[in-house]
Amino acid sequence: MKKKTIRTGIIGTGFSASFHYEAVCKVHGVNVEVVGAHTVDLEGGRKYAEKRGIRFFEKLDPLLDEVDVIHVCVPPIAHEPISVAGLERNKFVICEKPLTGYFGDGTPDFHWQRADKQVALDAALKSIDRMLAAEAQSKGKLLYAENWVYAPAVQKEREILEKTGGQILWIHGEEAHSGSHSVDYAYAARCGGGVMIGKGCHPLTAALYLKRVEGRVRDGKPIRPKNVSARTHAVTRLKNFRDEGHIRKDYYDIDDFSVMHVEFDDGTMADIIASDIVLGGIHNWLEVCANNHRAVCNINPNTALMTYNPVEKNFADIYVVEKIGTKQGWACTSPEEDWFTGYPQEIEAFYRTIAYGDPLEGDIHLGADAISTIYSAYVSADRQGAAVDVKTY
């Protein structure tokens, strides 16, 4: 079959825009022509474009004129407006996680810990409705970039579920490390909340996805979240937190530890932990306890390669693994971190959907269910963990 050519644009030129570009370069089933990039940071954007030999667009509209697809790699607060702008122009929109959210009341003294979480939930659901309406009216589509869905370990578990008809009884999972690199991340008004949304959305969405797969295979309809109980904490803002310099602690108003207990509509459960207080590198895993098998998806770290390095400086220019504090001693050195994380598989799958109409695993409804669950979880946390019903999409 002759490969189709698809023209694409990258919106945002920071951390995620870099791994999106690298994944786009690896797409092999479709010819992808990266036309250019746009960001509000003109200097950073020009550098990003120059480094990759692509054009820089100071404004979004002229880039939209020239492409079929945009990658939305901007902070969560800008996901809805940019995605909707793309969909209104009948473009395909690859939108980073979290799909959308609530970004404060606009007052300068907005503080997430004191905010009314029911107001946040209602606003997030309205944002979802606007994005769904934009997609429904568009010839384009929103492709929800939750890489955990496409991580090879999670996709292997999908195959096991599909071929064995297993029933998942309990999922537990975690995303954790010692603190985000992003300055914006300290403020809920820019990120829509704290660690429960920023990190929790990864394992939560993988859990929601696998329960969808289970229902789809066995009964022809997805199993959905029914209610959620949650607790959040701000450990690094505790008066008695003893800072030894290893854990980031300059957050303004966000939670840095969270736990969600999700009950699905078939009565089974998922427990999802997310935190910014864990040393030893990124800790991303999901364990599936089914009636006919058990699977531990070790996304990062994993033991594909173990290294022992007796002298720190010997590994000075060797990338070991995300967020590790030291390269000395034993390490789970990742031979291909992006691959284990699912970035190239995700982007390959998205372009096959765009070019040839292949089925889409990471769709807008999955992203919407994750947002609805998380903001319901914030309401629950405000009520000391009382169960709160989850609206599903």
**Rule CB under 6 A: is residue 44 a binding residue for ligand NAD?**
yes
**Smallest separation, CB 126 to ligand NAD (Å):** 19
**Smallest separation, CB 77 to ligand NAD (Å):** 7
Rounded Cα distance, 353 and 144, in Å: 12
**Smallest separation, CB 226 to ligand NAD (Å):** 26
Nearer to ligand NAD, 166 or 367 (CB): 367
Site stretch for ligand NAD (CB under 6 A), options 74-82, 204-212, 234-242, 287-295: 74-82
User: Residue 162 corresponds to which tokens in the numbers above?
Assistant: 């599909």
**Rule CB under 6 A: is residue 241 a binding residue for ligand NAD?**
no
Q: How far apart are the first and last CA of the chain?
A: 36
Site string for ligand NAD, 351-370 (x = CB under 6 A): --------------------
Rounded Cα distance, 89 and 308, in Å: 52
Site string for ligand NAD, 78-117 (x = CB under 6 A): x-----------------xx--------------------
Site stretch for ligand NAD (CB under 6 A), options 73-81, 215-223, 288-296, 323-331: 73-81
Site string for ligand NAD, 12-31 (x = CB under 6 A): xxxxxx--------------
Nearer to ligand NAD, 363 or 382 (CB): 363
Nearer to ligand NAD, 23 or 277 (CB): 23
Nearer to ligand NAD, 40 or 238 (CB): 40
Site stretch for ligand NAD (CB under 6 A), options 9-17, 23-31, 253-261, 267-275: 9-17
Nearer to ligand NAD, 271 or 322 (CB): 322
CA dihedral 83, 86, 88, 91 (to 10 degrees): -120
* 177 to 17, 62, 198, 274: CA distances (angstroms): 21, 39, 12, 9
Choice from 21, 27, 69, 76 touching ligand NAD (CB under 6 A) = 76
**Rule CB under 6 A: is residue 73 a binding residue for ligand NAD?**
yes
- Whether residue 256 contacts residue 194, with contact meaning beta carbons closer than 8 Å, is answered with yes
Position closest to ligand NAD via CB: 14
Nearer to ligand NAD, 12 or 225 (CB): 12
**Smallest separation, CB 182 to ligand NAD (Å):** 5
Rounded Cα distance, 361 and 380, in Å: 29
**Smallest separation, CB 193 to ligand NAD (Å):** 11
- Tell me, by CB under 6 A, how many residues bind ligand NAD: 21
Nearer to ligand NAD, 79 or 327 (CB): 79
Residue (of 6, 99, 63, 26) closest to 364 by Cα position: 99
- Whether residue 188 contacts residue 269, with contact meaning beta carbons closer than 8 Å, is answered with no
Residues in contact with ligand NAD by CB under 6 A are 11-17, 39-41, 44, 73-76, 78, 96-97, 147, 182, 184
